[in-house]
Amino acid sequence: MKTIFFSGLCAVLVILASGCASERSYPTAARYIDSNTLRANVKSALWQDPVVNGFDIGVGVYRSNVQLSGVVDTPEQKRRAESVALAVPGVTSVANDLMIRPVGLSGVGAGPRTEIRVVGEDPSMLLPRVVGNPDVYYGKNVEVQGTVDTVLSPNSFTLNSAGVREHPLLVVTSEREVHNISPGDVVRVRGELEPFNRTAVSQRLNADLEPRKFDGWANRAALLADSIRRIKD
């Protein structure tokens, strides 16, 4: 009887131990990083890497899977971008769709590294779509038109559509001063739409963004502007 009881107890302990081992073998923390945060973290890692930070690398994220797109100069840079992305916590796989620039077109002074394709929609109509459903436009170059609401810093301001102030778009530029821009001005802005990451954007655009003013914008839509034009009435 003791032998049967002991055997049964051992079997229960083995099952429990197996269950615990199974729990330990599948960490859950990485599975709950949302796509926007993960994309911003990958972008930040690429910008901080000296081998690939000079390239405009597109980053797409579906759950924990990352897709890289764009053009680099060498196979080593392509491999490096993939390894940097894969090292970001939460990333489980990387689809490396980076292309190698043909010989003779690389190097300093070779002109733009990638062709900038702007979403072909009416700028005056695009802003509410971007604000209402930013996930569709993340990683794309857009041109929007709206009314300046608040100038936050020499590098940034908020933009509204048709006077609606409830859902503004954050615009950040590499210029040290937002020249001739005042609240109420109608402007047309072109640039890449990103989920906002203050640290990454500050480094990428060399912009001074105070945590007190900008931490509340984390992971909200932000337009990293390369062109700002005031529209005359």
Per-residue pLDDT of the chain (233 residues; tens, 9 = 90+): 545 444 554 554 444 444 444 444 434 444 557 888 888 889 888 888 888 876 778 888 888 899 998 888 888 888 999 999 999 999 999 999 888 776 544 443 334 444 445 666 788 788 988 888 888 888 788 899 999 999 998 889 999 987 566 788 999 987 666 777 889 899 999 888 888 888 888 877 777 788 888 888 888 889 988 888 888 65
123-230 CATH fold: OB fold (Dihydrolipoamide Acetyltransferase, E2P) (2.40.50)
- Pair 223, 196: CB distance under 8 Å: no
Residue 81 — left, alpha, or beta (φ > 0 → left; ψ -120 to 50 → alpha)? alpha
Of the candidates 66, 64, 43, 67, the one whose C-alpha atom is nearest the C-alpha of residue 53 is 43
Q: Which residues contact 199 (CB under 8 A, 6 or more apart)?
A: 44
Beta bridge partners of 126: none
pLDDT value, residue 164: 66
Q: How high is the pLDDT of residue 113?
A: 42
Q: How many CB atoms lie within 10 A of CB 80?
A: 17
Among the four given CATH numbers 3.40.50.720, 3.40.120.10, 3.30.1340.30, 3.40.1010.10, the one describing domain 29-100: 3.30.1340.30
Could you give the CA distance from residue 126 to residue 134 in angstroms, rounded to a whole number?
A: 11
Domain boundaries, the chain: 29-100, 123-230
Query: At which residue do the structure tokens 């954007």 appear?
Result: 201
Measured distance CA(31)–CA(8) in Å, rounded: 37
Range list of β-strands (E), the chain: 58-62, 65-69, 71-72, 93-96, 99-100, 141-153, 156-161, 164-173, 186-195, 221-230
Q: How much is the pTM?
A: 0.57
Span 193-212, pLDDT tens digits: 888 888 888 877 777 788 88
Contact, 190 vs 140, CB < 8 A? Answer: no
Q: Residue 133 CA to chain centroid, in angstroms?
A: 15
Q: What is the CA radius of gyration of the chain?
A: 24
pLDDT on residue 117: 57
Q: In this structure, are residues 46 and 53 in contact, taking their beta carbons and an 8 Å threshold?
A: yes
Q: Hey, which bits of 22-118 come out as E strands?
A: 58-62, 65-69, 71-72, 93-96, 99-100
Taking the C-alpha atoms of residue 107 and residue 179, their distance in angstroms, rounded to an integer, is: 32
pLDDT at 139: 79
